[in-house]
């Protein structure tokens, strides 16, 4: 009770503030999303994501070494698939010599200690831009799961440490766990996108992979039949608990900053690490505002990352990973 208790005594200077700080960040808290393209010595900046590039495998490996030297220990990887390899079945997704599989092998060969978590979803391989196989105007859940199992096993065979299903099909974690175990990959983990919302924050990501749903009358115009309604909170807890019961080793909440209430709810409900995806739209907004001089880029970046960690994240997948690690190392 005042005047015996004065909260400001613990805020007098930075040394005292650092002594009592409840949350801290380190480079090992970050996972860096990477976009991989065909070719050699290829690097193209994504217009809506300044500072983020599509890279060929050789340049991706070079970047992996830089990330590891900064203290970043995990990457989640996505591939931009050639149009002629896309169909409605996802066949290219489990090609043992596909772009994703070759990228996994190259990264693990160059930097074995880097944890590689490839994306498991059909949208980069789909002529429709959806995360599943379409039949009779609907995204088929169970046939999609069967395709995802083939995809995940091919990633494990290439050397993936975790597979990261981002599709939001019902029951896919169980099917993936069964499929990986049957193939002998008991130690390959599953980081499930458990509470992935149908969000408008994903626009720049879809630019990066050219994976937005196509506009056609015979198919769903968006992903709202499988991604979650952003009005819902309890549903996120339910989805996360289901995934843990089905064998998920980590669960993810996506997006990040606009969903910190969900992060805390999920953290309180599950007994596995919670990953948060600080998504492309959240990244692009900071970059755009900073370019106009409206915000201090580094201060806002670090504040948002700290807030995600404070909310309960064990791991943050963020396009700021490299920039933040450089600041933290200084």
Q: How far apart are CA 118 and CA 176, in angstroms?
A: 14
Q: How far apart are CA 41 and CA 56, in angstroms?
A: 6
Our answer to whether residue 267 is catalytic in this structure is no
Asked if residues 282 and 255 have their Cβ atoms less than 8 Å apart, the reply is yes
Asked if residues 93 and 167 have their Cβ atoms less than 8 Å apart, the reply is no
If we measure between CA atoms, which residue out of 139, 146, 147, 166 comes closest to residue 248? Answer: 166
| The two three-digit tokens of residue 262, written as one number | 């969900």
Q: Which of 108, 254, 267, 287 is catalytic?
A: 254
Q: Which of 86, 108, 196, 287 is catalytic?
A: 196
Q: How far apart are CA 240 and CA 235, in angstroms?
A: 9
Cβ atoms within 10 Å of 96's Cβ, excluding its own: 10
Cβ atoms within 10 Å of 151's Cβ, excluding its own: 29
How does 77-94 read in b/e, with b if 16+ C-beta sit within 10 Å?
A: bbbbbeeeebebebebbb
Our answer to whether residue 196 is catalytic in this structure is yes
Cβ atoms within 10 Å of 204's Cβ, excluding its own: 22
239 annotated to bind ligand:
yes
| The two three-digit tokens of residue 42, written as one number | 């290829």
Asked if residues 200 and 256 have their Cβ atoms less than 8 Å apart, the reply is no
If we measure between CA atoms, which residue out of 166, 23, 40, 151 comes closest to residue 98? Answer: 151
Main-chain phi, psi angles of 251, to 5 degrees: -120, 155
> Which positions make up the binding site?
239
> Which positions make up the binding site for Mg(2+)?
239
Kindly list the catalytic residues. 196, 254
């Amino acid at each position: 009770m005042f005047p015996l208790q004065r909260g400001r005594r613990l805020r007098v200077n930075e040394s005292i503030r650092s002594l009592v700080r409840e949350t801290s960040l380190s480079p090992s808290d970050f996972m860096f999303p990477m976009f991989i393209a065909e070719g050699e010595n290829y690097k193209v900046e994504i217009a809506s994501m300044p500072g983020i590039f599509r890279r060929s495998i050789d340049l991706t490996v070079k970047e992996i070494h830089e990330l590891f030297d900064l203290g970043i220990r995990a990457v989640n990887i996505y591939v931009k698939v050639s149009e002629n390899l896309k169909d409605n079945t996802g066949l290219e997704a489990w090609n043992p010599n596909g772009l994703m599989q070759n990228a996994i092998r190259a990264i693990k060969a160059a930097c074995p200690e880097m944890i590689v978590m490839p994306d498991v979803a059909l949208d980069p391989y789909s002529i429709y831009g959806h995360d599943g196989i379409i039949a009779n105007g609907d995204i088929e859940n169970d046939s999609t799961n069967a395709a995802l199992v083939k995809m995940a096993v091919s990633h494990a065979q290439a050397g993936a440490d975790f597979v990261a299903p981002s599709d939001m099909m019902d029951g896919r974690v169980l099917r993936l766990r069964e499929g990986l175990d049957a193939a002998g990959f008991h130690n390959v983990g599953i980081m499930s996108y458990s509470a992935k919302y149908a969000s408008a924050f994903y626009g720049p990501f879809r630019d990066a992979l050219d994976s937005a749903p196509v506009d056609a009358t015979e198919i769903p115009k968006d992903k709202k039949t499988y991604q979650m309604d952003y009005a819902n909170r309890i549903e996120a807890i339910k989805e996360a608990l289901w995934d843990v019961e089905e064998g998920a080793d980590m669960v993810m909440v996506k997006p990040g900053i606009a969903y910190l209430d969900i992060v805390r709810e999920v953290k309180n409900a599950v007994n596995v690490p919670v990953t948060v995806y600080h998504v492309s739209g959240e990244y692009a907004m900071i970059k755009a505002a900073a370019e106009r001089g409206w915000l201090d880029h580094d201060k806002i970046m670090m504040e948002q990352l700290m807030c995600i960690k404070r909310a309960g994240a064990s791991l943050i997948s963020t396009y700021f990973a490299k920039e933040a690690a450089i600041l933290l190392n200084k």
